């Protein structure tokens, strides 16, 4: 049995590493630390074409976000082993497995108090991604490495111009329910942005 703890400690709280190392060994999972992907924090793929379980997690997450994402993906693995493709990806079975797998980390109180409280609340009804829970996402963002240029849409004053990574430019307008109305400058089309979407303000 290989001990992956030394490598895992570089990305997650040290006391969590032996547990995740054991999960990797017990499941026979290929666990990969991935480049940054803007569309997702992590990924699970079930056995296929002679390949076993595969999990990847973005390398640039802070330690607490990395651990939560890792547990999220292992919950998919656990659900797949029990039900194969007969249940929804983030249905009741996955939610139950995610809560169960999170329990040792919650009980060990290895998260800072603010993250611990947000996770406990989030576990009442886990979503497809921790990014969709605004309180948990905002709490986890406090532990990211500073990024001088990026801001979230909710941090910008109304009428501010901002750009996305692909170069498209928008102007922020008023909040409509949970999202902000934004107008693309070139096309004058209206788009609704999540308050926690990361953008770069144009000064």
| Other Cβ atoms closer than 10 A to 94 | 22
Mean pLDDT of 13-42: 92
Cβ pair 130, 69 in contact under 8 A: yes
Q: How far apart are CA 14 and CA 102, in angstroms?
A: 16
Coil, strand, or helix at residue 85? coil
| Domain assignments of the chain as residue spans, ordered by start | 5-141, 150-201
Q: What is the pLDDT confidence band of residue 37, given thresholds at 50, 70 and 90?
A: confident
Architecture label for domain 150-201: Roll (2.30)
Residue 185's pLDDT is what?
Answer: 95
- In this structure, of 5-19, 98-112, 189-203, the range with the lowest mean pLDDT score is 189-203
* CB-based contact 136:195 (threshold 8 Å): no
Q: List pLDDT tens digits, range 44-93.
A: 999 998 899 999 999 989 999 999 999 999 999 999 999 998 999 899 99
pLDDT at residue 29 greater than cutoff 70: yes
Q: What mean pLDDT is predicted for residues 4-11?
A: 96
pTM of the model: 0.79
State how far the Cα of 170 lies from the Cα of 163, in Å rounded to an integer.
6
Indicate the SS3 state at residue 46.
coil
Q: Is the dihedral of CA 128, 192, 175, 143 positive or negative?
A: positive
178 band by pLDDT with thresholds 50, 70 and 90: confident
Query: Residues 130-147: what's their mean pLDDT?
Result: 80
Does the pLDDT of residue 131 top 70, yes or no?
no
User: What is the average pLDDT value for the chain, to the nearest integer?
Assistant: 91
Q: In angstroms, what CA-CA distances link 52 with 30, 80, 145?
A: 7, 12, 34
**Angle at Cα 195 formed by Cα 106 and Cα 111, nearest 5°?**
15
Instruction: Give the model's pLDDT for residue 195.
Output: 85
Model pLDDT, residue 149: 63
Question: Token pair of 72, please?
Answer: 């999220």
């Amino acid at each position: 049995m290989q001990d992956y703890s030394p490598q895992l400690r570089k990305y997650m709280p040290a006391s969590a590493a032996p547990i995740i190392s054991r999960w990797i060994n017990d499941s026979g999972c290929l666990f990969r630390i991935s480049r940054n992907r803007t569309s997702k924090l992590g990924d699970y793929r079930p056995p296929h074409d002679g390949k076993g379980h595969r999990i990847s997690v973005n390398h640039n997450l802070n330690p607490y976000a990395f651990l939560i994402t890792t547990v999220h993906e292992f919950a998919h693995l656990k659900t797949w082993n029990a039900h194969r493709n007969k249940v929804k990806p983030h249905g009741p079975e996955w939610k139950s497995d995610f809560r169960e797998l999170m329990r040792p980390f919650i009980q060990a109180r290895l998260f800072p108090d603010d993250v611990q409280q947000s996770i406990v609340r989030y576990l009442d009804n886990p979503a497809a991604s921790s990014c969709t829970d605004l309180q948990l996402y905002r709490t986890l963002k406090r532990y990211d490495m500073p990024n001088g240029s990026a801001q979230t849409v909710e941090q910008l004053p109304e009428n501010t111009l901002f750009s996305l990574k692909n170069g498209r430019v928008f102007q922020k307008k008023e909040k409509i329910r949970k999202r902000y109305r934004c107008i693309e400058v070139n096309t004058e089309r209206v788009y609704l942005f999540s308050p926690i979407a990361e953008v770069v303000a144009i000064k």
